[in-house]
Chain A
Amino acid sequence: MKNRREFLKTAATGAALLGSSAAADKLGFAAMLDQHAEAAKSKVVVARDAALHNASGQLDEKRVLDLLDRAMAAYTGRDKQAEAWKRIVPVGKVIGLKVNGLGGKGISTHFALVMAIAERLQQAGVKPGEIVVWERDARSLEACGLTVNTDPSRVRVYGNDVAGYENEPVAFGTVSVKLAKILTRECAMVIGLPILKDHSLGCGVTFAMKNMYGVVERPQDLHVGGCNPAVADLNCIPTIREKVRFTIGDAISSVYDGGPSFHPERLWYPNALIVGEDRVAVDRTAWQMIERKRAEAGMPTLEAAGRPPRYIATAADQAHNLGSNDPQRIHLMEV
């Protein structure tokens, strides 16, 4: 039971979240509390467009921008895109877009999505040279359809192979890694742009948190024990925790088994974006999406296959506290 001070604090916060006391009067007190409870949850938006791919599997790139707009409008509550983006990114700072091109050309962050985000960032006031699209190396960027560019008058695109890694490792829990200088020195904020994949070697699912394996020098050292607790530990490293503040997850296409490499026989088209600030809630949502597809394909659950993504629960535990793994505490919006 709450004491009086806690109650007043809660009520005041609720009113503030609603925007005004007039709004509270209009909705009524019970509704206000409901809104507060909803606001306390981690919001995750899943935006879909069934027509994103045509019958022969060709992506209609023009629809990707519309899908992104819908996702961001739903997440921020702002229909005007410039306003929506200003709620997410600081203007006048360097924004990193960490894509994932590890799986090769067939299963990497889509070029159309990267371009759509870069366009909206610029419309929100971010200068082209303040946008850095990055991955581990030039080849991984090429897999996303991107070409290396270090000209600061345009959107910059380059890898850790160009910028290098810090000399001194940083550590949290079981991991000790050298971070990419693009993360430590260039970017004020990073938006993760992972692509949804099954991870057949113990990890289960690779998405928002696992995407951070691309910001360290030796990711191959972090795969033991199904990447648990390495994924959670890695995301707790202060630079990663503080700078990587938003995920626009690419579930335009995905592999539901045999990942993280490209297996066209297990390719499917969720035609979706998964968006949110809480990386744990985003990963949990993505995991469930893979499970539903596996069930539809008559495949065992990841648990039954011996590779549940345990790192997601670890990331939510008290030692890590990176976000919410509890579906009761995730506000899932499907648009």
Chain B
Amino acid sequence: MFRLNWKWAVTVLMIVAAAAGAGCKKRASDPFPASGAVAGWDKTSDTRVFAAKDLWQYIDGDAEQYISAGVVSTSTSDYKYQGQLEAVVDVYTMNDAAGARKILETGQSKDAKSIQLGDAGVAYSQSVIFRKGPHLVRIVAYESTPDTPQALLALARGVEAKL
């Protein structure tokens, strides 16, 4: 009787351990801050996700450079700051950090300002681009206001914290 109970207990423990282990696995991260999570910013669209083979549907003509750098998937969502300033957040997940680095470095222009964000990043008056591990994040505002640079940087920090 005891012998049977002992085996039973071990089996139950193994099942519990396996279940707990599965539960502890890191979920596929959702890098998009919810409305209000970053002060002033609202998420104004559903997140759209594109596999590499479908990326042309989102950025036809630009897709090839991401594909050649090893993009696996791309997620995008629209945001609005204080009900006025519209922006879009694109998160490109690459095969590895080298792919993200390649995109970040090839796309820079002379007026890029380096920022401390993720593994590396740059900011312009209407956009912030940074990389963290295999992720390349591009946040673009559709207009330039005095608040735009700081607002974009705050949103970028919100995304970075969720990666």
Q: Which residues of A come within 8 Å of B, CB atoms?
A: 56-57, 102, 104-106, 199-201, 203, 206, 213, 219-220, 223, 257-267
Specify which chain A residues have a CB less than 8 angstroms from the CB of B141 in the assembled complex.
264
Q: Beyond A220-B63, A223-B64, A264-B144, list 12 extra A-B contacts (CB 8 Å).
A: A57-B144, A102-B59, A105-B88, A106-B140, A201-B64, A213-B61, A220-B56, A260-B59, A260-B60, A260-B61, A264-B124, A265-B127
From the candidates A57, A203, A265, name the one contacting B61 in the complex (CB within 8 A): A203
CB atoms of B109 and A257 under 8 A apart: yes
B62 at the interface (CB under 8 A from A): yes
Interface of A is mostly: loop
Closest to B63 in A: A220
From the candidates B62, B111, B125, B140, name the one contacting A200 in the complex (CB within 8 A): B62
CB atoms of B88 and A104 under 8 A apart: yes
Specify which chain B residues have a CB less than 8 angstroms from the CB of A200 in the assembled complex.
62, 65
What are 18 A-B contacts defined by CB distance under 8 Å? A56-B144, A102-B60, A105-B142, A201-B61, A219-B56, A220-B56, A220-B60, A258-B107, A258-B109, A259-B61, A260-B62, A263-B107, A264-B125, A264-B140, A264-B142, A264-B144, A265-B109, A265-B111
Closest to B110 in A: A298
Q: Which of B62, B86, B112, B141 has the most C-beta atoms of chain A within 10 angstroms of its own C-beta?
A: B62
B126 at the interface (CB under 8 A from A): yes
Q: Which of A199, A203, A219, A220 has the most C-beta atoms of chain B within 10 angstroms of its own C-beta?
A: A220
Please measure, in the bound complex, the distance between the C-alpha atom of A176 and the C-alpha atom of B31, giving whole angstroms. 40
Q: How many of B's residues come within 8 Å of A, CB to CB?
A: 23
CB proximity of A127 to chain B, nearest CB, Å? 33
CB proximity of B140 to chain A, nearest CB, Å? 6
Please measure, in the bound complex, the distance between the C-alpha atom of A260 and the C-alpha atom of B64, giving whole angstroms. 12
Please measure, in the bound complex, the distance between the C-alpha atom of A9 and the C-alpha atom of B140, giving whole angstroms. 59
B96 at the interface (CB under 8 A from A): no
B119 at the interface (CB under 8 A from A): no
Q: Which residues of B come within 8 Å of A, CB atoms?
A: 56, 59-65, 86, 88, 107, 109, 111-112, 124-127, 140-144
Specify which chain A residues have a CB less than 8 angstroms from the CB of B62 in the assembled complex.
200-201, 260-261
Specify which chain A residues have a CB less than 8 angstroms from the CB of B60 in the assembled complex.
102, 213, 219-220, 260
Interface of B is mostly: loop
Specify which chain A residues have a CB less than 8 angstroms from the CB of B59 in the assembled complex.
102, 260-261
Given contacts A220-B60, A220-B63, contact A265 B124 (CB under 8 A): yes
Closest to A264 in B: B126
Which 3 pairs between the two chains have the least Cβ-Cβ distance? A264-B126, A220-B56, A265-B124
CB proximity of A265 to chain B, nearest CB, Å? 4
CB atoms of A263 and B61 under 8 A apart: no
Specify which chain A residues have a CB less than 8 angstroms from the CB of B140 in the assembled complex.
106, 262-264
Specify which chain B residues have a CB less than 8 angstroms from the CB of A219 in the assembled complex.
56, 60
Specify which chain B residues have a CB less than 8 angstroms from the CB of A265 in the assembled complex.
109, 111-112, 124-127
Specify which chain B residues have a CB less than 8 angstroms from the CB of A104 in the assembled complex.
88
Closest to A206 in B: B61
Please measure, in the bound complex, the distance between the C-alpha atom of A234 and the C-alpha atom of B163, giving whole angstroms. 42
Specify which chain A residues have a CB less than 8 angstroms from the CB of B109 in the assembled complex.
257-258, 265-266
Q: Which of A206, A258, A265, A267 has the most C-beta atoms of chain B within 10 angstroms of its own C-beta?
A: A265
Specify which chain B residues have a CB less than 8 angstroms from the CB of A201 in the assembled complex.
61-62, 64-65
Specify which chain A residues have a CB less than 8 angstroms from the CB of B63 in the assembled complex.
220
Closest to B127 in A: A264
Specify which chain B residues have a CB less than 8 angstroms from the CB of A264 in the assembled complex.
124-127, 140-142, 144
Please measure, in the bound complex, the distance between the C-alpha atom of A156 and the C-alpha atom of B112, giving whole angstroms. 42
CB atoms of B124 and A199 under 8 A apart: no
Specify which chain B residues have a CB less than 8 angstroms from the CB of A263 in the assembled complex.
107, 127, 140
CB proximity of B58 to chain A, nearest CB, Å? 9
CB atoms of B64 and A106 under 8 A apart: no
CB atoms of A105 and B127 under 8 A apart: no
Closest to A58 in B: B143
Specify which chain A residues have a CB less than 8 angstroms from the CB of B88 in the assembled complex.
104-105
Specify which chain A residues have a CB less than 8 angstroms from the CB of B107 in the assembled complex.
258, 263
CB proximity of B107 to chain A, nearest CB, Å? 7
Please measure, in the bound complex, the distance between the C-alpha atom of A259 and the C-alpha atom of B141, giving whole angstroms. 16
From the candidates B61, B125, B126, name the one contacting A199 in the complex (CB within 8 A): B61
CB atoms of A57 and B127 under 8 A apart: no
Specify which chain B residues have a CB less than 8 angstroms from the CB of A258 in the assembled complex.
107, 109
Closest to A265 in B: B124
CB proximity of A106 to chain B, nearest CB, Å? 5
Please measure, in the bound complex, the distance between the C-alpha atom of A261 and the C-alpha atom of B62, giving whole angstroms. 7
Please measure, in the bound complex, the distance between the C-alpha atom of A55 and the C-alpha atom of B47, giving whole angstroms. 34
